[in-house]
Chains A and B, each alone.
Chain A
Amino acid sequence: MSWADWWATYSTLVLSVGVYGMMALSISLTLSCGLLTLANAAFMGIGAYVSAIATTAFDLPFFEALLLGTLGSTFVALLIGLPVLRLSGVYLAMATLGFGEVVRIILLNLDITGGPLGLNGIPSLTQWWHVLSALLGTVFLLRCLRASRIGRAFEAIREDETAARLMGINTHPLKLLAFVLGAAIAGLAGGLNAHYTFTLSPGNFGFENAVDILTMAVLGGIRGLPGPLLGGAIVTLLPEVLRDLQDYRMAANGLILILVVLFLPQGLWDPQRIRGWFKRA
C-alpha cells in the first residue's frame, strides 16, 4: 500500500491515538495526586461542544474555538472542583461520575447542542500537526510539573495525605490544580476530536467513555508519562488490530485488558520493572 493510501485510511486512527493519549494523561494527572475522578469524559465533552458551537454557530477561527473549549472546561472544573474535592476515595469517584451524568443530561436537553440529535456538519479542521503539538505541549507541561516542587507535592499527597499536610503542604489548592489542569487538557482534546469526527452527540461522552479513559491510564501505568500514552494508543488501536476476529473482536479486546491488569498490576510502563531488567542484564 502506498504512503498516501495508508494515510488516507488510517489518519483518523492516528489522530485518535494522539487525542486519547492526551485524555489518558489528563486522568493520570489527577491519579498521580491520589484522586480517583471520573469526570474527564465530561470535560472532554464540554470542550468538544463549546469549540464545535464556536466554529459552526459563530464562525470563529479554529484556534479561538479550541481556546474557548479549553477555557470552558477549565472554568466548569474550577466551579465543580471547589466543593467536590473535599471528598476523597470512592465518594469522590461517585460525585465526579454524577457530574458526568449531569453534563450528559444537560447536553441532551439544550437546544444549542442539538439535543439527542447532536451537532452535525462540524468542519474538518484538525490536522495531524495540531494534535502532535497539543500532545507534545501537554507532555512538556507535565514533565516540567513532575520535576517541580508541585510535582513532588502531588507525589507526597498520593502516598499519604495526612503526612503531606503535616509537612506543610497546602493540599486543597494543589488537588484543585491537578483537577483543573486535567480538565483543561481534556477540554483541548475534546475540541480537537470534534473537528475530525464531523459530529457530536451526548452519548459520546457518557459513562462508557469515562471508563475507557480510566482503563487507558491504568493499563499503561501512571508512574511515568509514557505509560498513559502507551495505554491510550493500545486501547484505541486494539479494536482495529483485532478486526479480523470479527464477532469475537470485543471479547478478545476485553481478555487482553484483563490479562494485562492481572499480571502487570502497575501497568505496562513500570519504571521499576524496566530498571530491574537492565540490572539483571
Chain B
Amino acid sequence: MITRPALLCCRFLAALLLPLITAGALAAPAAEPIRIGVAEALTGPASQYGIPILNGFLLAAEEINAAGGINGQKLLLVTEDERGKKEEAINVFKKLIFQEKVLLIFGPTLSNSMFAAGPIANAAHVVAFGTSNTATGITDIGPYIFRSSPMESDVVPATLKTVGAHLPLHRVGIIYGNDDAFTKSGYDVFKSTLQQQQVAVVDTETYSRGDVDFKAQLTKLKAAQVDAIICPCLAEEGANILIQARALGLSVPFIGGNGFNSPALLDNAKSAAEGTWVGSPWFDGNTAAENQRFLRAYRQKFHSDPNQFSAQSYDALWMLVDTLKKITLTSQLDKNRELLRDALPMVSFAGATGPFSFRPAPSHQGKPGGYDAHQTPFVYVVRHGKFTLVR
C-alpha cells in the first residue's frame, strides 16, 4: 500500500521545508494551517478507488505547500478511513466536523456513503465535496453538497452522440450488473438516453457482481444481431466480457461507461478491447499542459500511473486553493465555512481534467440543492491497444 510511505514522505518534506519558510517569513506571525478533511475508503473493497483519490490529494497538497501555501497559510489534510460503509462514513464526518474542526470535507468515496454522511455536513453547514460520486440525487441533499465528478447523465449522451457520428447505431444490446448501485444507475442513464436518441434496444442481459462467465448472455446478444453492445460495467467484469465476446466471434464494438476508463481494462483485455468506446471526464492522453504536469508529478511521486479518480481529486484541491485565495478567512470557523460555501460555486478552473465549473442542482419542492460538475467529457476509442481521443 502506498499511503503510509506517501504520508511519511509528505511529513518528511514538510519538516524539511518548514524551517526554510519560517525563516523567510519571520516578520509575519506563524500562521495556523488550514485544516481540510479527507474522508475516503482506504481499506475494504472500495479502497481501489479511495487510495488513488487520496494520492491525488496528497500530491496536490504537497505542491501547494511547497509553493508557500495560501496567503502564507499551509494546508493540512486530516485523513480518515471510512471503509466504504455508511455508519463509518457518518462517524468520520462527525469526527472531522466537530472534533477536528476542518474547514471542508472531501469525500466520501462511494455515492452510498455520501447519501449517509452528506446530510450530516449539510446540517452542520460544512461543505462536503465529493470527487467520485456519480449517482443521481447526491446534490439533492442540500446546498452544502458539491461534487466535481460529472454524473453519468452528463457523460452518456455525449458518448452516444460521438459514437453515432462514427458508426451506424440503430440496434443495440445492453449487458450490465443489476445488483450494484454504480452499474445499475449507469444502465438507467443509457436506457433513457438511447430512448431519447431513438436507438432501439433489442436485447438486455444482466449479471451479478463477481460473475466470471458471461457466455450465455453474450450468445444471446450475438443472436440479436446488434450494431453495438452497451456495457455500463466495472473494469473487472468488463475485461472478461470483452475477451469472451471476441472468443464467441462477436466482433461488434462495445460502448462503456465511466467504469471502462481504466488502464486495467486494456491490461486485462489486451487485443479484445480494440474498438471499445468510452466516455469519461479525464483522458490520460490529453495534451493540455496542466494534465501533462499532473501525469509527470504523479508518476514521479507514486511510481505508478494515475487514473481518473486521482486526476479528479488533484483538481479538486487546486480548485479549493483557487477559491481560498479569493476570500479572507476570519478567526471564526463557522463564518469561514459559510464564506467558503458562498465562494465555491464561482469556481472557474482548468486542470488535469480540463475546463471546469459548478452548476447549481435543480431544487426539489422548494428545497435548495447543491452543486454538480459542469464539464465536457472526453470520448475515446481503443485503437492499436491505446485510448485514442475522438472529436
Contacts and interface: CB of A to CB of B under 8 A. Distances in A.
Interface of A: 1, 5, 8-13, 16, 105, 108-109, 115-118, 120-121, 124, 197-199, 201-202, 204, 239-240, 243, 246-247, 249-250
B97 to A, nearest CB: 8
B94 A199 contact: no
Given A9-B95, A247-B3, A247-B43, A204 B184 contact: no
Contacts of B4: 246-247
Contact of B115 (A115, A116, A199, A243): A199
Given A9-B95, A198-B116, A199-B112, A108 B43 contact: no
Interface stretch (B60-68, B133-141, B150-158, B229-237): B133-141
Contact of B119 (A16, A124, A201, A249): A124
A210 B4 CA distance: 32
A49 to B, nearest CB: 14
A247 B1 contact: yes
15 contacts: A5-B99, A8-B97, A13-B91, A115-B184, A116-B181, A117-B185, A118-B115, A118-B181, A121-B141, A198-B90, A198-B116, A198-B119, A199-B86, A201-B112, A246-B4
A121 B95 contact: no
Nearest to A201: B112
B87 interface: yes
Given A5-B99, A116-B181, A120-B137, A12 B112 contact: no
Contacts of A199: 86, 112, 115-116
Nearest to A1: B99
B80 A9 contact: no
Given A116-B180, A118-B112, A12 B94 contact: yes
Contacts of B80: 243
Given A8-B98, A117-B185, A249-B43, A197 B179 contact: no
Q: Is the interface of A mostly helix, strand, loop or mixed?
A: helix
A197 B90 contact: yes
B40 interface: no
A246 B184 CA distance: 32
A256 B67 CA distance: 45
Most chain A beta carbons < 10 A, residue from B42, B115, B140: B115
Nearest to B124: A8
B96 to A, nearest CB: 9
Interface in B70-100: 80-81, 83, 86-88, 90-91, 94-95, 97-99
Nearest to A193: B87
B162 interface: no
Interface in B297-354: none
Interface in B24-48: 42-44
How many chain B residues sit at the interface, stated as a range, is 35 or more
B178 interface: yes
A1, A11, A117, A201 interface centre (most CB from chain B within 10 Å)? A117
Contacts of A202: 179
Contacts of B178: 108-109, 115-116
Contacts of B184: 115-117
B87 A197 contact: yes
Q: Which 9 A-B pairs have the closest CB atoms?
A: A199-B115, A8-B98, A120-B115, A9-B98, A116-B184, A199-B116, A116-B181, A9-B99, A9-B94
Contacts of B97: 8-9
Contacts of A10: 91, 94
Contacts of A105: 179
Given A198-B115, A250-B44, 14 more contacts: A9-B97, A9-B98, A12-B87, A116-B178, A117-B135, A117-B184, A198-B116, A201-B112, A239-B83, A240-B91, A246-B4, A246-B42, A247-B3, A249-B81
A210 B140 CA distance: 32
Contacts of B87: 12, 16, 197
Contacts of B1: 247
Contacts of B42: 246-247
Contacts of A201: 86, 112, 181
A239 B116 contact: no
B134 to A, nearest CB: 12
A12 B137 CA distance: 23
A13 B43 CA distance: 20
Nearest to A204: B86
B272 to A, nearest CB: 27
A63 to B, nearest CB: 22
B230 to A, nearest CB: 18
A36 B156 CA distance: 48
A124 B115 CA distance: 13
Interface string B173-188: 0000011110111000
B180 to A, nearest CB: 6
Contacts of A108: 178-179
A264 B45 CA distance: 32
Given A8-B94, A9-B95, A9-B99, A250 B88 contact: no
A27 to B, nearest CB: 19
A8 B90 CA distance: 11
A129 to B, nearest CB: 19
Interface in B217-267: none
B94 A11 contact: yes
Contacts of A11: 94
Nearest to B188: A117
Contact of A5 (B3, B44, B90, B98): B98
Contacts of A118: 112, 115, 181
Contacts of B98: 5, 8-9
B47 to A, nearest CB: 10
A12 B99 contact: no
A11 B124 CA distance: 14
Nearest to A203: B112
Contacts of B83: 239
A101 to B, nearest CB: 12
A233 B177 CA distance: 36
B86 A12 contact: no
